A and B are shown apart, each in its own frame.
Chain A
């Protein structure tokens, strides 16, 4: 039953560009899907392992800059750059993890925040590598063909499909992850790290491995961001606000669930875009408010709440 729903949803998601020619909606879809990848990435570490990172923008930004620099300075095609962005993100996460995982709970969160800020400031000031505050700009994307047709990079559709594949891939990865031994170990670590150690779980290795996967996904999303928006600067890809939004999407959507991040992304992005249409600024008011409401009334997030309501409904029907 669940597989049918999942397959159906994937079908709908992939069909959207055919259902509408409204470019704004397609852009919205792209944004939602990109945030889904980010939310999914964060969820691996934050939801399953319970390690709340306020610095995930680091990996997003590293991925974006890797892709940009490799394309603009070495001519490496952006899609390869995107994947390499993920790999570089994962590599960067290793020392960061080894440093930050020595700390627990809120101290870990603060440390990730500090690391993110350091990376942002380095990107801002290391002009030789990153062009500093000026940022990096892509004017044209390379010629490429899928099947017999050449890809039209001026249209949003190819980007939509690219990010949709990333999002679906991320969610499938989360699903596999949640059923693996590492996934189970993470839930134990989230509950009680010391007890987890006492039953033979190498907690440091589990956390570092998870962070690497998480950073990989975030880095790939960063590479995509560079391709789609074509402009990257330190304040666009490294700000604290971006890290915090990732947290919100995962928390409001539903921690430690496969579908949580996409629900959270749909909900938050859609409403904030509408808000932005009418009021221009302040859509983050909504993010803050939803976060507060979720923690107070729906700690399992929207998706968790839906699932709970569903099981209660099913149980009530049976009796």
Chain B
């Protein structure tokens, strides 16, 4: 039982990081980025190629990939999304659906659909604190995820830029009137969301099978998290991520391995119907 809880929390923290990236973007721009899963996938492959080609440990190469993904995110916003957003929420949703398909299949084309794994020499055996098996890469990932999320929290609450982002998230018009360059903030926020996704991907890579269409499953889980926690709420996404991790972990043990993915979706539907604002946040338009 404790084993399940621990696994759940560890995985959940990584889900949370992915969810935070998505929710932050929604909060500021009111767009649901369906390509978010692909950004995680790119991070995962970044870790893989970093190790395979340059012998870089993923937990080191994360320092390279995170800023790179930040840049990629900003470019995607500036040159692709910025023109689409005025067309409305649904158009943007469809556009990101197209983008998602494009990135996933380009990856499929270039890197083939073969399943890849990352094998780290120090990660062969799990640690066993108090008799609970904890895979080392997951533990390190958990630690770094907490660090990164903590840094994000600090950034959002203590820096001027962070506050500008939160202001825009609450009320874009008021923020604009107060001199906030909303387009620039949106671009930075999208970069931030992408960086978080990419970083989560790098951290997840040693613990999951890599294949180009993994984004599909990840984005589905991401929705569950983000809706559970309330679209736009960072703390909600964190809570939602950990909760999903726990639900899946416990569900696999106590309900059935087969239906464990279903549980997440059923909860998702229930939350959407009965508490659309999630545990915190905004929803029905």
| Chain A residue nearest in CB terms to B224 | A114
Instruction: Give the distance to chain B from A95, nearest Cβ to Cβ, in Å.
Output: 11
Say yes or no: A296 contacts B220, CB within 8 Å. Answer: no
Q: Assess whether A288 is interfacial by the CB under 8 Å rule.
A: yes
* Residue interface bits B248-285, CB-to-A below 8 A is 1, else 0: 00000000101101100110110011001000000111
Interface size class of B (residues with CB under 8 A): 35 or more
| Chain B residue nearest in CB terms to A111 | B272
Instruction: Report the Cα distance A121→B95, complex, angstroms.
Output: 27
With A117-B265, A282-B106, A284-B105 already in contact, the answer to whether A109 and B273 are too (CB < 8 A) is no
Q: Assess whether A299 is interfacial by the CB under 8 Å rule.
A: yes
B82-99 with Cβ < 8 A to chain A: 83-84, 87, 89-91, 93-95, 97-99
A115 touches which one: B89, B269, B284 (CB < 8 A)? B269
With A124-B258, A125-B258, A288-B105 already in contact, the answer to whether A52 and B93 are too (CB < 8 A) is yes
Say yes or no: A121 contacts B101, CB within 8 Å. Answer: no
- Which B residues are CB-close (under 8 A) to A106? 32, 89-90, 93
With A104-B285, A110-B32, A113-B220 already in contact, the answer to whether A244 and B105 are too (CB < 8 A) is no
- Which A residues are CB-close (under 8 A) to B276? 103, 107
Q: Assess whether A295 is interfacial by the CB under 8 Å rule.
A: yes
Instruction: Report the Cα distance A139→B132, complex, angstroms.
Output: 51
Given A282-B108, A288-B98, 20 other A-B contacts at CB below 8 A?
A99-B269, A102-B273, A103-B273, A103-B284, A107-B272, A114-B224, A121-B259, A125-B256, A240-B220, A241-B216, A281-B105, A282-B105, A285-B109, A288-B102, A289-B102, A291-B101, A292-B102, A295-B84, A295-B87, A295-B95
With A281-B108, A299-B91 already in contact, the answer to whether A291 and B98 are too (CB < 8 A) is yes
- Which A residues are CB-close (under 8 A) to B94? 52, 247, 251, 291, 295
Q: Assess whether B100 is interfacial by the CB under 8 Å rule.
A: yes
Say yes or no: B84 contacts A110, CB within 8 Å. Answer: no
A210-263 with Cβ < 8 A to chain B: 240-241, 244, 247-248, 251
- Which A residues are CB-close (under 8 A) to B99? 288, 292
- Which B residues are CB-close (under 8 A) to A110? 32, 223, 227, 268, 272
Interface of A is mostly: helix
Instruction: Give the distance to chain A from B79, nearest Cβ to Cβ, in Å.
Output: 11
A240 touches which one: B89, B216, B224 (CB < 8 A)? B216
Instruction: Give the distance to chain B from A114, nearest Cβ to Cβ, in Å.
Output: 4
The 3 closest A-B pairs by CB, nearest first: A291-B98, A288-B102, A288-B101
Chain A interfacial positions (CB closer than 8 Å to B): 50, 52, 54, 99, 102-107, 109-111, 113-115, 117-118, 121-122, 124-125, 240-241, 244, 247-248, 251, 279, 281-285, 287-292, 295-296, 299
Instruction: Give the distance to chain A from B260, nearest Cβ to Cβ, in Å.
Output: 9
- Which B residues are CB-close (under 8 A) to A118? 262, 265-266, 269
- Which A residues are CB-close (under 8 A) to B83? 296
Q: Assess whether B64 is interfacial by the CB under 8 Å rule.
A: no
Instruction: Report the Cα distance A247→B98, complex, angstroms.
Output: 10
B183-204 with Cβ < 8 A to chain A: none
| Chain A residue nearest in CB terms to B262 | A121
